[in-house]
Amino acid sequence: MSRRLLAIALCLPALASAQLASTGDYLSRMDGDGDGKISLPEYQDWLSYAFDAMDANRDGVLDASEQPARAHGAGPSVTREQHRRTLAERFAKQDRNRDGSLDARELAAPPQ
Protein backbone atom coordinates (compact mmCIF):
# COMPACT_ATOMS: atom_id res chain seq x y z
CA MET A 1 0.00 0.00 0.00
CA SER A 2 1.35 3.39 -0.89
CA ARG A 3 2.15 5.92 1.83
CA ARG A 4 -0.26 8.37 0.20
CA LEU A 5 -3.16 5.91 0.29
CA LEU A 6 -2.37 5.00 3.88
CA ALA A 7 -2.24 8.68 4.88
CA ILE A 8 -5.63 9.35 3.29
CA ALA A 9 -7.18 6.32 4.94
CA LEU A 10 -5.78 7.13 8.37
CA CYS A 11 -7.06 10.71 8.27
CA LEU A 12 -10.65 9.87 7.39
CA PRO A 13 -11.94 8.62 10.75
CA ALA A 14 -10.47 11.59 12.57
CA LEU A 15 -12.08 13.99 10.14
CA ALA A 16 -15.44 12.26 10.32
CA SER A 17 -15.45 11.92 14.10
CA ALA A 18 -14.61 15.60 14.56
CA GLN A 19 -18.03 16.40 13.11
CA LEU A 20 -19.94 14.13 15.50
CA ALA A 21 -20.36 14.35 19.26
CA SER A 22 -20.26 10.69 20.34
CA THR A 23 -19.65 7.14 19.17
CA GLY A 24 -23.40 6.50 19.29
CA ASP A 25 -24.01 9.47 17.03
CA TYR A 26 -21.26 8.28 14.71
CA LEU A 27 -22.70 4.76 14.62
CA SER A 28 -26.24 5.96 13.96
CA ARG A 29 -25.11 8.11 11.04
CA MET A 30 -23.06 5.31 9.49
CA ASP A 31 -25.75 2.67 10.08
CA GLY A 32 -27.70 2.99 6.85
CA ASP A 33 -30.06 0.07 7.52
CA GLY A 34 -30.62 0.90 11.21
CA ASP A 35 -29.63 -2.53 12.55
CA GLY A 36 -27.33 -1.12 15.25
CA LYS A 37 -24.10 -2.26 13.65
CA ILE A 38 -21.90 -1.18 10.77
CA SER A 39 -21.35 -3.45 7.79
CA LEU A 40 -18.31 -3.19 5.55
CA PRO A 41 -20.25 -1.41 2.75
CA GLU A 42 -21.70 1.08 5.26
CA TYR A 43 -18.20 1.75 6.61
CA GLN A 44 -16.72 2.17 3.15
CA ASP A 45 -19.54 4.40 1.93
CA TRP A 46 -19.38 6.69 4.97
CA LEU A 47 -15.60 7.00 4.95
CA SER A 48 -15.43 7.67 1.21
CA TYR A 49 -16.79 11.19 1.56
CA ALA A 50 -13.29 12.71 1.67
CA PHE A 51 -12.20 10.77 -1.41
CA ASP A 52 -15.32 11.96 -3.22
CA ALA A 53 -14.72 15.55 -2.15
CA MET A 54 -11.12 15.47 -3.41
CA ASP A 55 -12.04 13.80 -6.73
CA ALA A 56 -12.68 17.12 -8.48
CA ASN A 57 -13.14 15.69 -11.97
CA ARG A 58 -15.27 12.77 -10.70
CA ASP A 59 -13.27 10.13 -12.58
CA GLY A 60 -12.84 7.79 -9.58
CA VAL A 61 -9.11 8.47 -9.37
CA LEU A 62 -7.24 10.88 -7.14
CA ASP A 63 -4.35 12.09 -9.23
CA ALA A 64 -1.49 14.13 -7.80
CA SER A 65 -3.26 17.45 -8.34
CA GLU A 66 -6.32 16.28 -6.35
CA GLN A 67 -4.39 14.93 -3.36
CA PRO A 68 -3.34 16.96 -0.33
CA ALA A 69 0.11 18.49 -0.71
CA ARG A 70 2.84 16.66 1.19
CA ALA A 71 6.39 17.58 2.06
CA HIS A 72 7.71 14.82 -0.23
CA GLY A 73 5.71 15.89 -3.28
CA ALA A 74 2.76 14.29 -4.98
CA GLY A 75 2.09 10.63 -4.47
CA PRO A 76 0.87 8.09 -6.99
CA SER A 77 -2.71 8.15 -8.19
CA VAL A 78 -5.24 6.38 -5.96
CA THR A 79 -8.33 4.76 -7.42
CA ARG A 80 -11.64 4.57 -5.62
CA GLU A 81 -11.26 0.78 -5.59
CA GLN A 82 -7.82 1.03 -3.94
CA HIS A 83 -9.29 3.38 -1.37
CA ARG A 84 -12.15 0.96 -0.63
CA ARG A 85 -9.69 -1.94 -0.28
CA THR A 86 -7.71 0.08 2.27
CA LEU A 87 -10.91 0.77 4.19
CA ALA A 88 -11.74 -2.97 4.08
CA GLU A 89 -8.35 -3.74 5.63
CA ARG A 90 -8.97 -1.23 8.41
CA PHE A 91 -12.49 -2.57 8.95
CA ALA A 92 -11.10 -6.10 9.37
CA LYS A 93 -8.67 -4.85 12.02
CA GLN A 94 -11.43 -3.05 13.93
CA ASP A 95 -13.78 -6.07 13.74
CA ARG A 96 -12.16 -7.66 16.77
CA ASN A 97 -14.82 -10.33 17.29
CA ARG A 98 -14.72 -11.20 13.57
CA ASP A 99 -18.50 -11.15 13.12
CA GLY A 100 -18.37 -9.08 9.92
CA SER A 101 -19.75 -5.91 11.49
CA LEU A 102 -18.68 -3.18 13.88
CA ASP A 103 -20.61 -2.44 17.04
CA ALA A 104 -20.23 0.79 19.02
CA ARG A 105 -17.33 -0.57 21.09
CA GLU A 106 -15.36 -1.72 18.05
CA LEU A 107 -16.12 1.51 16.21
CA ALA A 108 -14.83 3.60 19.13
CA ALA A 109 -11.65 1.55 19.57
CA PRO A 110 -8.50 2.86 17.91
CA PRO A 111 -7.50 0.89 14.82
CA GLN A 112 -5.00 -1.85 15.54
pLDDT score for 100: 96
Helix 80-94 vs helix 3-18: angle between axes, to the nearest 10 degrees?
70
- Does residue 97 register a pLDDT over 70? yes
> Averaged over 68-92, what is the pLDDT?
86
- Does residue 110 register a pLDDT over 60? yes
Q: How does pLDDT run across 35-79, given as a tens digit for each residue?
A: 999 999 999 999 998 899 999 999 999 998 898 876 566 678 999
Banded pLDDT at 2 (limits 50, 70, 90): low
pLDDT score for 68: 82
Mean of per-residue pLDDT scores for the chain? 82
Residues 6+ apart with CB under 8 A from 59: none
- Does residue 109 register a pLDDT over 60? yes
CATH number at residue 49: 1.10.238.10
Chain centroid to CA 53: 13
Question: Which range marks the domain in which residue 27 is found?
Answer: 3-108
Taking alpha carbons only, the member of 88, 92, 72 closest to residue 80 is 88
- Percent of the chain surpassing pLDDT 90: 51
